[in-house]
A and B are shown apart, each in its own frame.
Chain A
Amino acid sequence: GEQVEQRPPHLSVREGDSAVIICTYTDPNSYYFFWYKQEPGAGLQLLMKVFSSTEINEGQGFTVLLNKKDKQLSLNLTAAHPGDSAVYFCAVSAGQGGRALIFGTGTTVSVSP
C-alpha cells in the first residue's frame, strides 16, 4: 500500500525565515494531496488540498509544490511567524471511492521571534 515519508521531523526557524517540508509518496496512482496543520490540543486544520494536475499552489503565507515525476510534495512556509509553530502533516489519497488518507510522519515546526 501507499507509504508516505516526511522530512524533516523537526524544524526550528527564526521569524521571517522560510521553512520547507518534503513528503515522498510511493503510489503513482495517488491523486489528491493535502497539508494539515495541528496545533497543541487541537484537531487538524486543512491548509491546502492539491489535485495531481496542479503543480504549484499558492496559499496565504505558503506555497505547495507537487513533483509527480519524483513523487514529492512540499510545503514552503514563506516568511514564517510564531503563529506558524505547529506540527504539519502531509496526506495522500488515491481518491477512489472513499479511500483513506495516508498521513506522513509529521514535522514539528518552531518559529522563534
Chain B
Amino acid sequence: GPKVLQIPSHQIIDMGQMVTLNCDPVSNHLYFYWYKQILGQQMEFLVNFYNGKVMEKSKLFKDQFSVERPDGSYFTLKIQPTALEDSAVYFCASSTGPNTEVFFGKGTRLTVV
C-alpha cells in the first residue's frame, strides 16, 4: 500500500543544536501531520499542514518547532534549538483529505544528549 518514508530512522544530536526530520509523504496526499511519541507513551499530535500552512497545532508544538514543505519536496520538522525533552520518536503522516485514511511512517527516533 501507500508508504510514508521517514529519513533518518534514528538521529542523535547534541542539546542546543538544530535538527531537521524529513518525511516523504504519499505522492498524491495533501494533508501532512507530525506526531510525537515518548517511549512507552501514547502518540501525541504536534501539527497538521495543508496548502503550505499550519492548520492546527498542539501545546507540544513549541516555538522552537517549525514545519515546511518547500516546492512539494520533503515535509520537514525542524527543532531549533533542541532540548533533552525533545527526545522521542517522531511520526510523520499524510492523507488525501481531512477525513480520509491517514498513513503513518515508521518514525524517526530522536535522541538529544
Contact call A96/B43, Cβ cutoff below 8 A: no
Residues from chain A with a CB closer than 8 A to the CB of B45 are 100-103
Q: Please, could you name 20 A-B residue pairs with CB atoms under 8 Å apart, sorted by A?
A: A41-B106, A43-B104, A43-B105, A43-B107, A44-B43, A89-B42, A89-B43, A91-B43, A93-B99, A96-B98, A98-B31, A99-B56, A99-B98, A100-B33, A100-B48, A100-B56, A100-B58, A103-B44, A103-B45, A106-B41
Interface residues of A (CB under 8 A from B): 6, 31-32, 34, 36, 41-44, 46, 49, 89, 91, 93, 95-106
Contact call B41/A105, Cβ cutoff below 8 A: yes
Residues from chain A with a CB closer than 8 A to the CB of B58 are 100
Q: How far is the CB of B105 from chain A (nearest CB, A)?
A: 5
Complexed CA–CA distance, A93 and B31 (Å): 15
Contact with A along B27-44 (1 / 0, CB 8 A): 000010101000001111
B83 contacts chain A at the CB level, 8 A cutoff: no
Q: Which residue of B lies closest to A31 (CB)?
A: B99
Interface residues of B (CB under 8 A from A): 4, 31, 33, 35, 41-45, 48, 50, 55-56, 58, 91, 98-99, 101-107
Contact call A95/B106, Cβ cutoff below 8 A: no
